[in-house]
Amino acid sequence: MRKGLLLLAGLALFATTVSAQTADEIIARYIKTIGGADRLKAITALRRTGKYTGSGGFEAPIVHENRRPNMVREEFTMQGLTGVTAYDGSNGWKIEPWDGNKNAEPLGEDELKDIIDDSDFDGPLVDYQQKGNKVESLGLEPVEGTDAYKLRVTSLNGDVRNYFMDTDYYVPIKIETKRMVRGAEREFETSLGDYKEAGGVYFPYSMEINAKGSQNRTKYTYEKIEVNVPLADARFAKPSPQGKKPAGSDR
Amino acid sequence: MKRSVLILTVLLAVSATAQQPAPAVRVDSDTISGLGARNIGSAAMSGRIAAIDAIREGKRLTVYIGSASGGVWKSVNGGTTYKPVFDKQAVQSIGALAIDRRNPKVVWAGTGESWTRNSVSIGDGIYKSVDAGETWTNMGLPDSERIAKIIIDPSDSNTVYACVPGKLWSDSDDRGVYKTSDGGKSWTKVLKGTNASTGCSMMSIDPQNPKTLFAGMWDFRRKGWTFRSGGESTSAPSGSGLFKSTDGGATWNDLNGAGLPAKPWGRVAVSVAPSRPNVVYAFVEAEPPMNGLYRSDDSGRTWELRDRSQNMIWRAFYFANLIVDPKDENKIYKPGGGLIVSNDGGKSFSGITGGAHGDFHDVWVDPDNTDHLITGDDGGVWYSYDSGNKWWKAENLPVSQFYHVSVDNDMPYHVYGGLQDNSSWVGDSQYPGGITNSRWENIFGGDGFWVFADPSDHDSIYAESQGGELGRVNRKTLEIRGLKPLPGYKEGKLRFNWNTPLHVSPNGTLYIGSQFLFRTRDHGQSWERISPDLTTNDPAKQKQEESGGVIVDNSSAEMHTSIYTISESPKNANVIWAGTDDGNVQLTRDGGKTWTNVTANVPGLPKNAWVSYIDAGHFDEGTAYASFDLHTFGDMRPYAYRTADYGKTWTPVVAQNGNVRGYAHVIRQDLVNPNLLFLGTELGLWISLDGGNQWAQYKGADLPNVAVRDLVIHPRDNDLVIATHGRGIWIVDDITPLRALTPENLARESFFIDSKPAVQRIRAFGGWVNGDAAFEGPNPPNDAVITYYQKKRHIFGDLKLEVLDAEGKVVGTIPSGKRRGLSRVTWSMREKAPRIPPAASGAGSATTGPRVLPGTYTVRMTREKNVYTTPLQVVGDPRAKYSIDDRRAQFALATKLSSVLNDMTFAVDRMNAVRLALDDRASKLPANDSLRSRLYKASEQVDELRRKIVATKEGGMITGEERLREYVANLYGDVNVYDGRPTNMQTERAESLTRELNDVVAGFDRWTAKELPALNAALVKTQRSKIEPLTREEWEKTP
């Protein structure tokens, strides 16, 4: 951990000149800042535990689990009932238990796009070429008064995300997502912050998401990020319909 | 981590100092814009639309709307929803739009409206987007000021023509027809006017032979006191005319005679029939009776006069546009006060305004279904699906053009304002469910300007229409009593400005200004004339009956030598300021007995500037702030001054060539911090924290660079209410944080800014579903707002925010904002939600915790090692009728029910744990083992108890099954949603449900005491582990 931070400090020294940089340079510095490719690759599984904050004081515990190459499970617990959205690398499914139905259902088109994005273990910038993503550097564009490099990432499916990378540290501080759903655009903004180290790599511990132009923000705050926890295949695979197990016994 | 981040900060600081002295803290837009704003609209009135283009992409219709002063709006669903796509650009006035038919991702926007009424805004060139409006690049023509038409060569996307009328208020060579052949990189002027006031007013291309172009040229000039559309100027013969090119603009023929009227002309419109390009229509503003529509059937060689009905000929400067149906050369639409259409090649026209607003400017005809029209007028956008017989209003374009705004002292307060061609309105500053169009009420008529609630009579409103047509409106019956001051015997005209100033003092005294200042203290029953003519009374500027150019047009829009702004000192009602549209600043210190003209004391101010606003100082009677507007002389720079000695000396508070852009409409001093100033210009809102030395543009909530015409600070709520001319009303809730941004504070890493007491607003239900096609303005947050400042964006490490009660217990944690400058976060003022036992479905009525009691709380911010705290006062809603004892009773019962739910969850979790343990052990025993069936039976007994508490029927249907959990959760929800005393029955029900739960729990305890020891003995006997019921202590530790 100490070593990583020294590296970070060293990088910052060189970061005082803000000049035109290529997308590859920016991404390389980003990877270095957060701990380097080796440490990143050494992480094969990730569990992030925290809290969802909605409007009017609504809060809910969340657990986000990722496993390489592209499995993801996202849990949201309300009143002892845990909702799940997951992707096993080929199928996306969800359980929304709050209306009395605890069966797993397939994800809709927009939800599936969401979770496939989330399944990208290192995010779309790392190894973007292998993933088929196109990345362009669009120069400087400040985020709420903080200078940032704007990188436009176009995924294979045509969805566009703009990554705003802080010019001092090269980590993303904001992401704009533009997604086509049934031929219509959906636009979101994600703010990232509270970067902290876990397993030798820096992760954002705070995320805020809002539909573009809306002041209603959904907030995720992670309290704990664990790396290389054992995550069995079964956590990501769609479960078969429930039998007559008594309600409540799933706790 | 913490330590290293500190090292990092130090290293950064060192590296910065090594190169240069430490820079001063940036005070810029982002320092202040973290105070968000709310656009409350409305789209009920909407506003003037200057240009429209649309294209079908696949089966869906993409529409671009160019508003007169509110940017470009794009719809990808035929108008169901729009988004503004031009907000980041330097100007918001649109004159022309063109979509490239060969590549619809390419869109051109010409800025600066060409419908040159007195209040028209300005542009700064031609813009191009290559990504369907997402981003724009200014491609040149920066001094064009306005653009009437853009034509893309249908055979070559890189060839584009721009029809530039040019500057309205001054001579300029930057006008005429411009052409680019390289997609906008370079432009050539291909048609030049014959004098410095003649530019292009309309242009049309032959789509089948795109080298053939027609251009109308227009000689025009507006001044503060007159307007000239065509005719001769004082220095040169009229340049208006109609021109044709057959070589892509290289050479032009002046089309004269051959059926066209004699010169001089005014504004000219021209349109080639796309389906039969030999047919060309031209509207020519000429001396009556030869003004009207002309048709040529031979591509402009000969012409014949056709229609000259009223809507064809009047107000050419505002309506000279022709739209020929794409499939039928004999069908022509002509915008006017009404929209008219001809089906016989222009011989006759029928009115098709229907239920639309009127004052039309553009029409788009769907080439795939020519019954489908989109039109824009002074009241917004309208759709027709039956060729203009009936119109459907766009309810989602908040491009309303306010002139002024005021507020009352209701709770919540109302917002009052008048709009260009859209009357005077009252709107809600907040409303349960959102500020929809229906939360705005029209109360007057005509063009609207100043509107005030009468502070001395809650049921009355003062409003006016153009030219000082003042009325007193009964807000219940909407009856209007006319109050306009009238001239005396043989006195001639009282000169009331288009935008006549009204001023209302806190006690209800009303002022209105013509060339004289009038005052009434009895609601207009009697008027005192309290000044002589305060203007220059220059007769050269009083010839409005001759105004118009070729054809007279005297609508009171050019009325001049009149009072334009009035301000009574809040410190002394005998100190009254008046500013005139012809440059006089006048002051009385004896309630109007004597007046002093202090204009000559204002240094560096060109003569005859409009005194656009005077704000009498709020802290001493000798102080005043004044803004001046010289745009009617072609000077678009801001002017604003301050005096502290009754106008004897003035100091500029804004530099003409500094960072503030646009001519100044309004300057206001804060009500609390004398150094906090607000300046509204044609191109945005600026704020100064230091009395005018530095200004930063406010861009909270992406407020665009739109004209800010008026500002008011709510004296009780400290909200800044912004009247934009093009984007409706915006509210910055609670500006008190701006008052704390002193230079010392700005240099600190971070600090909390005292919040005003957080009101626990009463919970109310309002509004209804409106679909996606309707505007809805947001409310202020229902939560406590906490504001803090950070010198830099927070990126690494924790930034934690917690709320503590008076005992120091943490009652809430808040996700933090990270941005540089001011950040705003909210706290729900609620405790943690109760735990709810798992069951068949969720309990929606118990998802949030009890609302905390009013009192003093502490907000604690932890940034790495540094801890900051600030007190937070939580208060009840002043509208609430219940007492603090009622509130305590509510809190006590909500808390009790919350703890009943927690107890219940513990009980169910305990039962579930025993049950699972029994099942687990049973399942490991052979099927014929008697212990196995004993264990299963025991499990069933426990489950029977559990089913008394929770509903268990699954399957996603509405089972209606209710048990104790559902009863308690619903009761909790009912108690928790109303802050007053619970009903007696609610209290009794809470008691009985608690007892019922205790009965079940006691039953389980009895069962545990009676059954479990024997079962455990049997388990131990067979070397199996005992079953230990969960303790409360253990349970509290589970999440």
Least CA distance to B7: which residue of chain A?
A9
For residues A192 and B774, give the distance between their C-alpha atoms in angstroms, rounded to a whole number. 32
Give pLDDT, residue B31.
Answer: 87
Give pLDDT, residue B283.
Answer: 98
Asked if B956 and A197 come within 8 Å (Cβ–Cβ), the reply is no
Q: How confident is the model at residue A249 (pLDDT cuts 50, 70, 90)?
A: very low
Q: How confident is the model at residue A250 (pLDDT cuts 50, 70, 90)?
A: very low
Least CA distance to A101: which residue of chain B?
B956
Which residue carries 């108008």 as its tokens? B79
Best of A7, A11, A75, A79 to disrupt the B interface (most B CBs within 10 Å) is: A79
Q: Is the pLDDT of residue B801 over 90?
A: yes
Q: Is the pLDDT of residue B298 over 90?
A: yes
Q: How confident is the model at residue B956 (pLDDT cuts 50, 70, 90)?
A: low
Q: Of the spans B585-589, B736-740, B744-748, B1020-1024, which averages the highest pLDDT?
A: B585-589
CA dihedral A100, A104, A110, A112 (to 10 degrees): 160
Which residues are bridge partners to B751 per DSSP? Answer: B789
Which residue carries 């490490």 as its tokens? B797
Give pLDDT, residue B536.
Answer: 98
Count of pairs with CB atoms under 8 A, one residue in A, one in B? 190
Asked if B838 and A142 come within 8 Å (Cβ–Cβ), the reply is no
| Residue B288 near chain A (CB below 8 Å) | no
Rounded to a whole number, what is the distance in Å from the CA of A57 to chain B's nearest CA? 5
Give pLDDT, residue B961.
Answer: 81
For residues B929 and A20, give the distance between their C-alpha atoms in angstroms, rounded to a whole number. 78
Q: Is the pLDDT of residue A213 over 90?
A: no
Amino acid at B107: V
Give pLDDT, residue A5.
Answer: 40
- Contacts of residue A99 in chain B, CB cutoff 8 Å? 841-842, 956
- Contacts of residue B33 in chain A, CB cutoff 8 Å? 144-145
Asked if B815 and A100 come within 8 Å (Cβ–Cβ), the reply is no
Whether the bond between B154 and the residue before it is cis, its omega within 30 degrees of 0, is no
For residues B461 and B478, give the distance between their C-alpha atoms in angstroms, rounded to a whole number. 10
Hey, is B305 helix, strand or coil? strand
For residues B755 and B787, give the distance between their C-alpha atoms in angstroms, rounded to a whole number. 7
Asked if A80 and B959 come within 8 Å (Cβ–Cβ), the reply is no
Rounded to a whole number, what is the distance in Å from the CA of B838 to chain A's nearest CA? 5
Instruction: Count Cβ atoms below 10 Å from residue B845 Cβ, excluding itself.
Output: 16
Amino acid at A202: Y
Give pLDDT, residue B25.
Answer: 65
pLDDT digits (tens, 9 = 90+) for B77-121: 999 999 999 999 999 999 999 999 999 999 999 999 999 999 999
For residues B911 and B944, give the distance between their C-alpha atoms in angstroms, rounded to a whole number. 10
Lowest mean pLDDT segment, chosen from B142-156, B603-617, B744-758, B773-787: B744-758
The predicted model gives B621-646 an average pLDDT of: 98
Amino acid at A69: P
| Residue B12 near chain A (CB below 8 Å) | yes
Asked if A145 and B29 come within 8 Å (Cβ–Cβ), the reply is yes
Which contiguous run of DSSP H or E holds residue B529?
A: strand B528-529
Give pLDDT, residue B235.
Answer: 81
Asked if B841 and A205 come within 8 Å (Cβ–Cβ), the reply is no
Scan residues 721-750 of B and list those with Cβ closer than 8 Å to A. none
Asked if A80 and B836 come within 8 Å (Cβ–Cβ), the reply is yes
Give phi and psi for B894, each to the nearest 5: -60, -40
Of B30, B76, B959, the CB nearest to A145: B30
Asked if A251 and B912 come within 8 Å (Cβ–Cβ), the reply is yes
Rounded to a whole number, what is the distance in Å from the CA of A13 to chain B's nearest CA? 6
| Residue B604 near chain A (CB below 8 Å) | no
Of A184, A213, A250, the CB nearest to B77: A184
Characterise A37 by phi-psi region: left (phi > 0), alpha (psi -120 to 50), beta (else). alpha
Q: Is the pLDDT of residue B3 over 70?
A: no
Rounded to a whole number, what is the distance in Å from the CA of A88 to chain B's nearest CA? 25
C-alpha B452: how far from chain center: 21
Q: Is the pLDDT of residue B548 over 80?
A: yes
Q: Which two tokens stand for residue B653?
A: 């508070």
pLDDT digits (tens, 9 = 90+) for B417-439: 999 999 999 999 999 999 999 99
Characterise B87 by phi-psi region: left (phi > 0), alpha (psi -120 to 50), beta (else). alpha
Which contiguous run of DSSP H or E holds residue B616?
A: strand B610-616
Which positions ≥6 away from A14 have C-beta within 8 Å? none
| Residue B33 near chain A (CB below 8 Å) | yes
Longest Cα pair distance anywhere in chain A, in angstroms?
65
Asked if B828 and A247 come within 8 Å (Cβ–Cβ), the reply is no
Which contiguous run of DSSP H or E holds residue A118?
A: helix A109-119
Give pLDDT, residue B11.
Answer: 31
- Contacts of residue A177 in chain B, CB cutoff 8 Å? none
Asked if B795 and A166 come within 8 Å (Cβ–Cβ), the reply is yes
- Contacts of residue B905 in chain A, CB cutoff 8 Å? 80
Q: Is the pLDDT of residue A16 over 60?
A: no
Question: Do B278 and B299 form a contact (C-beta atoms < 8 A)?
Answer: yes
Q: What ranges make up the beta strands (E) of B119-240?
A: 126-129, 137-138, 149-152, 160-164, 176-180, 188-191, 198-205, 213-223, 226-229
Q: Which two tokens stand for residue B392?
A: 């459907």
For residues B535 and B496, give the distance between their C-alpha atoms in angstroms, rounded to a whole number. 12
Burial of B918 (0-12, 13-18, 19+ CB in 10 A): buried
pLDDT digits (tens, 9 = 90+) for B457-485: 989 999 999 999 999 999 999 999 999 99
Q: Is the pLDDT of residue B690 over 60?
A: yes
The predicted model gives B260-265 an average pLDDT of: 96
The predicted model gives A8-32 an average pLDDT of: 69
Q: How confident is the model at residue B232 (pLDDT cuts 50, 70, 90)?
A: confident
Best of B795, B852, B943, B965 to disrupt the A interface (most A CBs within 10 Å) is: B795
Which positions ≥6 away from B920 have C-beta within 8 Å? none
Instruction: Count Cβ atoms below 10 Å from residue B134 Cβ, excluding itself.
Output: 14
Of A5, A102, A143, the CB nearest to B954: A102
Asked if A79 and B820 come within 8 Å (Cβ–Cβ), the reply is no
Hey, is B127 helix, strand or coil? strand
Would you give the DSSP letter of residue A143?
B
The predicted model gives B723-746 an average pLDDT of: 94
Asked if A247 and B954 come within 8 Å (Cβ–Cβ), the reply is yes
Q: Is the pLDDT of residue B6 over 90?
A: no
Question: Do A179 and A186 form a contact (C-beta atoms < 8 A)?
Answer: yes
Which residue carries 């759709």 as its tokens? B383
Mean pLDDT, chain B, integer: 94
Closest alpha carbon to B739 in B713, B761, B765: B713
The predicted model gives A117-137 an average pLDDT of: 95
Q: How confident is the model at residue B670 (pLDDT cuts 50, 70, 90)?
A: very high
Lowest mean pLDDT segment, chosen from A208-217, B167-176, B489-498, B654-663: A208-217
Q: Which two tokens stand for residue B421?
A: 């061609």
- Contacts of residue B795 in chain A, CB cutoff 8 Å? 166, 168-169, 171, 173, 193, 195
For residues B180 and B321, give the distance between their C-alpha atoms in angstroms, rounded to a whole number. 24
For residues B423 and B45, give the distance between their C-alpha atoms in angstroms, rounded to a whole number. 8
Asked if B34 and A183 come within 8 Å (Cβ–Cβ), the reply is no
Burial of B747 (0-12, 13-18, 19+ CB in 10 A): exposed
Of A9, A144, A184, the CB nearest to B8: A9
- Contacts of residue B956 in chain A, CB cutoff 8 Å? 99-101
Asked if A196 and B797 come within 8 Å (Cβ–Cβ), the reply is yes
Question: Do A163 and A178 form a contact (C-beta atoms < 8 A)?
Answer: no
| Residue B675 near chain A (CB below 8 Å) | no
pLDDT digits (tens, 9 = 90+) for B35-44: 999 999 999 9
The predicted model gives B839-868 an average pLDDT of: 92
Task: Return the sign of the alpha-carbon dihedral for residues A131, A134, A139, A144.
Answer: negative
Residues in chain B, total:
1039
User: What is the share, in percent, of chain B residues with pLDDT greater than 90?
Assistant: 90
Amino acid at B989: R
For residues B594 and B590, give the distance between their C-alpha atoms in angstroms, rounded to a whole number. 7
Q: How confident is the model at residue A13 (pLDDT cuts 50, 70, 90)?
A: very low
Which residue carries 């800010």 as its tokens? B708
Which residues are bridge partners to A222 per DSSP? Answer: A50
For residues A179 and B17, give the distance between their C-alpha atoms in angstroms, rounded to a whole number. 44
| Residue B427 near chain A (CB below 8 Å) | no
Asked if A57 and B812 come within 8 Å (Cβ–Cβ), the reply is yes
pLDDT digits (tens, 9 = 90+) for B301-348: 999 999 999 999 999 999 999 999 999 999 999 999 999 999 999 999
Give pLDDT, residue A10.
Answer: 39
Amino acid at B330: N
Asked if A171 and B26 come within 8 Å (Cβ–Cβ), the reply is no
The predicted model gives B732-747 an average pLDDT of: 92
Asked if B8 and A5 come within 8 Å (Cβ–Cβ), the reply is yes
Give pLDDT, residue A8.
Answer: 44
Which positions ≥6 away from A243 have C-beta within 8 Å? none
Q: What ranges make up the beta strands (E) of chain A?
A: 45-53, 59-67, 71-78, 81-87, 92-95, 105-106, 134-140, 148-154, 160-166, 172-181, 184-198, 201-211, 218-227
Asked if B83 and A8 come within 8 Å (Cβ–Cβ), the reply is no
Q: Which two tokens stand for residue B132?
A: 């369907």
Asked if B11 and A166 come within 8 Å (Cβ–Cβ), the reply is no
Which residue carries 């003995």 as its tokens? B1017
The predicted model gives A101-124 an average pLDDT of: 92
Give the pairing type, strands B226-229 and B548-549. parallel
Give phi and psi for B915, each to the nearest 5: -60, -45
Least CA distance to B58: which residue of chain A?
A183
Q: Is the pLDDT of residue B797 over 80?
A: yes
Scan residues 934-973 of B and list those with Cβ closer than 8 Å to A. 943, 946, 950, 952-957, 959
Instruction: Count Cβ atoms below 10 Å from residue A70 Cβ, excluding itself.
Output: 17
- Contacts of residue A246 in chain B, CB cutoff 8 Å? 915, 943, 952
| Residue B779 near chain A (CB below 8 Å) | no
Would you give the DSSP letter of residue A244?
S
Q: How confident is the model at residue B778 (pLDDT cuts 50, 70, 90)?
A: very high
Give phi and psi for B959, each to the nearest 5: -85, -20
Q: Is the pLDDT of residue B354 over 90?
A: yes
Amino acid at B525: Q
| Residue B10 near chain A (CB below 8 Å) | no
Instruction: Count Cβ atoms below 10 Å from residue A163 Cβ, excluding itself.
Output: 28
- Contacts of residue B19 in chain A, CB cutoff 8 Å? 16
The predicted model gives A132-155 an average pLDDT of: 93
List helix spans (H) across B272-412: 310-313, 316-319
Closest alpha carbon to B572 in B590, B595, B598, B596: B590
